[in-house]
A and B are shown apart, each in its own frame.
Chain A
Amino acid sequence: MTIIFDLFAQILQMALVLLAAPLLIGFVRKVKAHLLRRQGPPIVQPWRDLLRLLRKETVLAENASWFYRAAPYFIFATTWVAASLTPTFENGLMFSWAADLIAIIALLGSARFLLALAGMDVGTSFGGIGSSREAMFGSLAEPATIMIVFTVSLVAGSTQLSEIASYMLAHSELRVSVGMALIALLIVAIAENGRVPVDNPATHLELTMVHEAMILEYSGRHLALIELASALKLLLYISLIDCMFFPWGMAPHGAGVVEMATGGVAFVFKLAVAGVLLAVFETSTAKMRVFRVPDFLGAGLMLGLLATLLVFVTRSL
């Protein structure tokens, strides 16, 4: 009985993240439009776009290889698996032991690896520019993330996200190291998701693109899958931040329907707060030059390293 219930919660989680991710994108766009005193498209617009893309014929470049055609499915699948193993409304998901925090980060690394390669497949200069920049961002953002993971897991004594969430829920004291890790994670999350000031998701000005440049040749169902994957990634980062730093309202493992519903409401609320903050931040900053990004990410890496050092040196800060 418990197993069936656990399985149900896990499937619910998988469906929830899939459903909510494009809505989150739509919500952020809506808030941004309002901040610029525009009406903006409805929140469900990203879903409409995705469904329309899925219905369309896919146009492949003449020299696209089998890898180019297979990559979107695996990029989507990898991101989705990572997102469904990150607790959102309920703690201790059925498969949460399959991948701890380090493995989830590495799964995102796999998706990035595939995406960067796919950008180089057709052999255009834009694909290469995107992949090359993504590779540079990734090689700084990933170690920063690992340092954040170190800090948080050393504080909580576990790399399992569920354990970290319960620990943080039980010990809600303020720690310098955790605060530094939070700031570092925010920096990394902005860079990893290609948001302003690192990359502009709305731009199609060629020389400023990173993520969009990689997927320039994609169309139809392939494009839909990649867009869905990047929406899932944004949701995943927000759930990660929630889970590690603000796990309030999350239902404990084996909770009843009511607690799960409360957890769901709390999660939607947190998503909304994060979406508003993201929109406000994006409208109030300008995009930075590509070669300023390493400094930005380097700050994240240094903060992460400092936080880890603090945890190594003292157990109480």
Chain B
Amino acid sequence: MPLYLALVCVGGLIGVSSLPIYKRETAGVAELIYRLCLGISALLFVAAIIPRGANALDLTLPLGLPWIGMRLHLDALTAFFLAVVNLGGATASVYAIGYGAHVSNPVRVAAFYAAFLAGMNLVVLAADAYTFLVAWEFMSLASWALVLTHHHDAENRRASYIYLLMASFGALALLMAFGVLGGVSGAYDFASIREAPRDSWQTGLVLALVLLGAGSKAGLAPLHVWLPLAHPAAPSHVSALMSGVMTKVAIYGFIRIVFDLLGPPAFWWSIEPMTFGAISAVIAILFATLQSDLKKLLAYSTIENIGVIFIGLGLSLAFKANGMLVPAAVAFSAALFHIFNHSLFKSLLFFGAGAVLTATGERNIERLGGLIHSMPKTAFLFLGGCFAIAALPPLNGFVSEWLMFQAILLSPTMPQWILKLLVPAVGVALALSAALGASCYVRAYGVAFLGRPRSDEAREAKEVDQWSLGAMSFLLGLSLTAGLLPGFFIDTISPVAKAFIGGRMPAQNEVGWLSIAPVAESRSSYNGMLVFVLIVASAWAARWLIYKYWSGATRRAPAWDCGYIEPSTATQYTGSSFAQPIRRTLGVIAFSARERLDMPLPGETRAARFSVQIQDRIFNFLYLPITSAVARISNWLNALNFLSIQEYLGLVFAALVLLLVGVAR
């Protein structure tokens, strides 16, 4: 029943996306589409959380390739991702009802938006390689069209081109992965893939290909270069979906293939995800700290969070391979919980960035400032999102990070030496990325929302509409709930861990006082609710006591600033000056940041110049050689265009002979 409901909903979404064909008049169609998307996503969310019992639901539709059909199924993992996708979809739709009107070409965006949602839902429902890949490509292309929304901008065209290139590359890698998985006999439904025997070199190949395919979609370094270009280029509600949800669908692909289809893991499977996860987390958050484009900053921070999730998944594989099922479940639950949490607060932050964009027309934080006065509600909600994503208690980002740390602390008993050396390094990367994340969001929030306005647009900003505020408030509320009652959410995802790991964390509702304890209470426990109540109560008590017994008198006066405040707002700390210490200490290593100061000699009248140069080393050392090699080869092959007819005939003949020799063997 839930599966049929889900299918009808996906069909509905595709139908909705074709609505503009029948209803030509633009006014209201976009809003109608968003309202319908909201309804359908909410229904799909319900379909995901309807209790199904322990069994997975399967269904074969007579569509697609002949004799294969289109297999769909719904199990615990699918249901979890269905819930994440549609929660994000529903809130983005609410936001879009208000925000979508500001976008150029609203109807076109709305149509592709619905198609994009349908594609993501179909990916998680697919149960054979063919359906999976078709849905995957559908999702990629729909989002590509959305990235091209503002196609008048040359930069956006370049972003969408790189996106298309990387998406095709990822799909190619996945196609080959499924090719190896299906083997020569070619049974491409997931059930037969699961049963098929496999050599270890095949497993290794599949693992590498999946990491390339799913990793490039999720934005794992070094395949992340498209993400900070493409995600910000789309309208904000789409950016939220791409960052908050589509990257999670890519992770779903990884989990489905590695945890499910490949069979019982060996310990070395964990090395790749952990290493690349750790590298992504640290590099991306450093980039985010140096970004002055608010949406780009958020996109880089998505890469960081994807890295954190991959660390959790890698740890879980390592534990599972060593037969440590409870720690494996802890790491797996941490990763899933972080997937859920990240989809909440990243959507919230992108909505906030969209609100800022609507109110000021500005994405560059260096031209913002003081928005807390002109848009206090957005400022409050964005602050909540920053708190959550910076992994600070009592919000939800902290809980999943905490679980991740607990999983690391369970790992020294693993016998493999490489893991003994790798896991502490991964732990330090995790801690570093969490701490840098906090700095990154202090900078983002402090420069954009606090201080004095740096431009007239920022000074005259207006609060955004009720729909946008409603969507953001709902997400913040959910983030807070997940932070205060994490036990409930962990219990909800533990059936997934049970099905895919074989073990589960102890039931958290049996731990007293709404605490969570991953292994045992004597080992570690955390109670977000109590911490929150204690903090609020003591803050309130302090205020009450001070106002009652001491002084509540307040006076407004000019700022002090050691005696003299320069009226120009340019004297404030900017985003770049805020990031300077981090750029100097860590940036030199990570991306060869160079500062150049051109100081005129005494007597010269020209102005002094200071410039900073930041290079993406990965781009320079990995992508540029590849692209230049491609260019060189195609240039060289270009000569084939200008052959005489005899030479062409000779080439055809040679090809024929070679083919015949190949067949004869």
Residues of A within 8 A of B (CB): 51, 54-67, 73-74, 76-78, 80-81, 95, 97-100, 102-103, 106-107, 109-110, 112-113, 116-117, 119-129, 131-133, 135-136, 138-143, 146-147, 150, 153-154, 157-160, 163, 206, 216-217, 220-221, 225, 290-291, 294, 301, 305, 308-309, 311-313, 315
Query: A57 vs B556: C-alpha distance in the bound complex, in angstroms?
Result: 10
Contacts of A64 in B (CB 8 A): 556
Given contacts A59-B555, A99-B531, A142-B434, contact A106 B391 (CB under 8 A): yes
> Is the CB–CB distance between A313 and B420 below 8 Å?
yes
Interface centre among B428, B443, B536, by most chain A C-beta atoms within 10 angstroms, is: B428
Q: Which A residues lie within 8 Å of B526 (CB)?
A: 98-100, 103
B387 & A113 in contact (Cβ 8 Å cutoff): yes
Please, which residue of chain A has its CB at the minimum distance from the CB of B369?
A123
Q: For chains A and B in complex, what number of residue pairs have CB atoms within 8 angstroms?
A: 286
Docked-complex contact B523 and A158, CB < 8 angstroms: yes
Can you name 23 A-B residue pairings with CB atoms under 8 Å?
A: A60-B557, A65-B372, A76-B539, A80-B538, A98-B515, A100-B524, A106-B391, A106-B392, A109-B392, A113-B390, A122-B561, A125-B572, A135-B438, A135-B443, A136-B581, A142-B435, A146-B428, A206-B562, A217-B561, A221-B552, A308-B424, A308-B428, A312-B412
Q: Say whether, besides A98-B515, A206-B562, A73 and B393 are in contact (CB < 8 Å).
A: no
Q: Report the minimal beta-carbon distance from B570 to chain A, rounded to whole angstroms.
A: 10
B527 adjacent to A97 (CB under 8 Å): yes
Q: A122-B451, A154-B409 are in contact. Are A143 and B428 (CB under 8 A)?
A: yes
By beta carbon, the residue of chain B nearest A298 is B585
B370 contacts the other chain (CB 8 A): yes
| Stretch in B10-18, B150-158, B334-342, B398-406 touching the partner | B398-406
Which residue of B392, B409, B555 is within 8 Å of A153 (Cβ)? B409
Please determine whether B573 and A150 come into contact, CB atoms closer than 8 angstroms: no
Picked from B420, B434, B447, B559, the residue with its CB within 8 Å of the CB of A124 is B559
Decide: B581 and A290 in contact? CB cutoff 8 A.
yes
Find out whether the CB atom of A138 lies under 8 angstroms from the CB atom of B435: yes
By a CB distance below 8 angstroms, the chain B residues around A103 are 393, 398, 402, 526, 531
Q: Which 3 residue pairs are nearest across A and B when measured between Cβ atoms? A: A128-B573, A123-B451, A120-B446
Assess the A147–B428 pair: CB atoms within 8 A. Answer: yes
Assess the B555–A55 pair: CB atoms within 8 A.
no
Query: How many angstroms from the CA of A169 to the CA of B182 in the assembled complex?
Result: 58
Chain A residues near B398 (CB, 8 Å)?
Answer: 103, 106
Which of B68-76, B83-91, B116-124, B542-550 is near enough to bind chain A?
Answer: B542-550
B633: shortest Cβ distance to chain A, in Å? Answer: 43
CB distance from A10 to the nearest CB of B (A): 10
Q: Is the CB of A138 within 8 A of B438?
A: yes
Question: With A and B bound together, what is the CA distance between A294 and B405 in angstroms?
Answer: 24
Instruction: From known contacts A58-B554, A120-B451, A125-B571, infer whether A97 and B521 are also in contact, taking CB-CB under 8 Å.
Output: yes
**Cβ of A62 and Cβ of B558 under 8 Å apart?**
yes
For residue B535, CB closer than 8 A to chain A, the reply is yes
Residue of B nearest to A159 (CB): B524
B608 within 8 A of A: no
A74 and B539 contacting across the interface, CB-CB below 8 Å: yes
Q: Are A66 and B408 in contact (CB under 8 A)?
A: no
Say whether A291 contacts B581, CB under 8 Å.
Answer: yes
CB atoms of A55 and B551 under 8 A apart? yes
- Given A66-B372, A106-B391, A158-B524, A150 contacting B402 (CB threshold 8 A): no
Q: Are A146 and B585 in contact (CB under 8 A)?
A: no
Known pairs A106-B393, A121-B450 / 9 extra A-B pairs, C-beta < 8 Å: A66-B372, A67-B450, A74-B535, A98-B515, A123-B369, A132-B581, A217-B561, A305-B425, A312-B411
Q: Does B565 make an interface contact (CB < 8 A)?
A: yes
Give chain A residues whose Cβ lies under 8 Å from the Cβ of B383.
Answer: 67, 117
- Check if B555 sits within 8 Å of A57, measured CB to CB: yes
Q: Is the CB of B531 within 8 A of A98?
A: yes
Check if B599 is an interface residue, CB within 8 A of chain A: no
Contacts of A125 in B (CB 8 A): 561, 566, 571-573
The answer to whether B542 touches A225, judged by C-beta atoms less than 8 angstroms apart, is yes
A73 to chain B: which residues have CB within 8 Å? 539-540, 542-543
CB distance from A66 to the nearest CB of B (A): 7
Verify B578–A132 contact, CB threshold 8 A. Answer: yes
Residues B437-454 near A (CB distance < 8 A): 438-439, 441-443, 445-447, 450-452
Residues of B within 8 Å of A122, CB to CB, are 451, 559, 561
**CB pair A77 B538 closer than 8 Å:** yes
How many Å lie between the Cα of A290 and that of B376 in the bound state?
Answer: 35
CB-CB under 8 A from A59, the residues of chain B are 554-557
Q: Are A124 and B561 in contact (CB under 8 A)?
A: yes
Are the CB atoms of B442 and A97 closer together than 8 Å?
A: no
Chain B min CB distance to A14 (Å): 8
- Give the docked Cα–Cα distance between A97 and B373 (Å): 40
Please state if A309 and B424 are interface contacts (CB–CB under 8 Å): yes
Cβ contact within 8 Å between B539 and A132 = no
- For the complex, would chain B's binding face be called helix, strand, loop or mixed by DSSP majority? helix
B535 interface neighbour in A77, A121, A313, Cβ under 8 Å = A77
Q: For the complex, what is the distance from the CA of A102 to the CA of B409, rounded to whole Å?
A: 11
Residues of B within 8 A of A77 (CB): 534-539, 542
A57 touches B409 (CB 8 A): no
A220 to B547, CA, bound (A): 12
A98 touches B543 (CB 8 A): no
Whole-angstrom distance between the alpha carbons of A159 and B392 in the complex? Answer: 18
Q: Which residues of B contact A146 (CB under 8 A)?
A: 405, 427-428, 431, 434
Chain A residues near B387 (CB, 8 Å)?
A: 110, 113
Instruction: Point out the residue from B431, B450, B580 that lies within 8 Å of A65, measured CB to CB.
Output: B450
Of B406, B427, B435, B560, most buried by chain A (CB within 10 Å of CB) is: B435
Q: Which residues of A contact B527 (CB under 8 A)?
A: 97-99
Q: Which residues of A contact B359 (CB under 8 A)?
A: none
Interchain CA distance A193-B431 in the complex, whole Å: 20
Chain A residue nearest to B569 (CB atoms) is A123
Residues of the A chain whose Cβ atoms lie less than 8 Å from the Cβ of B364: none
CA distance A164 to B434 in the complex (A): 24
Residues of chain A contacted by B447 (CB below 8 angstroms): 120
In the complex, the answer to whether A129 meets B523 with C-beta atoms within 8 Å is no
Decide if B582 is an interface residue (CB 8 Å cutoff).
Answer: yes
Q: A54-B546, A103-B402 are in contact. Are A143 and B535 (CB under 8 A)?
A: no
Residues on B with beta carbons closer than 8 Å to the beta carbon of A139: 432, 435-436, 438-439, 582
With A59-B557, A97-B515, A109-B438 known as contacts, the answer to whether A76 contacts B542 (CB < 8 A) is yes
A157 touching B523 in the complex, CB below 8 Å, given contacts A81-B534, A81-B535, A117-B442:
yes
- Residue B530 is within 8 A (CB to CB) of chain A in the complex: yes
Q: What 1/0 mask marks residues of chain B from 575 to 603 whose CB sits below 8 Å from any chain A CB?
A: 00111111011000000000000000000
Complex Cα distance A73/B552, Å? 13
Q: B370 is contacted by which of A58, A97, A123, A126 (Cβ under 8 Å)?
A: A123
A63→B559 contact, CB < 8 A:
yes
**In whole angstroms, what is the CA distance A113 to B551 when docked?**
27
Given contact pairs A73-B542, A74-B535, A99-B531, A159 touches B523 in the complex (Cβ within 8 A): yes
Contact B523 A60 (CB under 8 A): no
Complexed CA–CA distance, A215 and B354 (Å): 32
CB distance from B546 to the nearest CB of A (A): 5
Q: Of B379, B391, B552, B580, which contacts A132 at CB under 8 A? A: B580
Measured in the bound complex, the distance between the Cα atoms of B415 and A312 in whole Å is 10
Of chain B, the residue at the smallest CB distance from A309 is B424
Interface code B628-645, partner A: CB below 8 Å = 1, 0 otherwise? 000000000000000000
Query: With contacts A81-B534, A139-B435, A146-B405 known, is A128 near B577, CB below 8 A?
Result: yes
List, in ascending order, chain A residues with CB within 8 A of B515's CB. 97-98
Out of A65, A107, A290, which one reaches B393, CB within 8 Å?
Answer: A107
Residue from the list B412, B443, B557, B581 in contact with A61, Cβ < 8 A: B557
CB-CB nearest in chain A for B422:
A312
Nearest-neighbour CB distance to chain B for A114, whole angstroms, equals 9
Contacting residues, chain A, for B578 (C-beta < 8 A): 128, 131-132, 135
B359-381: contact bitstring with A at CB < 8 Å (1 yes, 0 no)? 00000000001101100100100
CB distance from B138 to the nearest CB of A (A): 41
Q: Within the assembled complex, what's the spacing in Å between the Cα atoms of A312 and B569?
A: 52
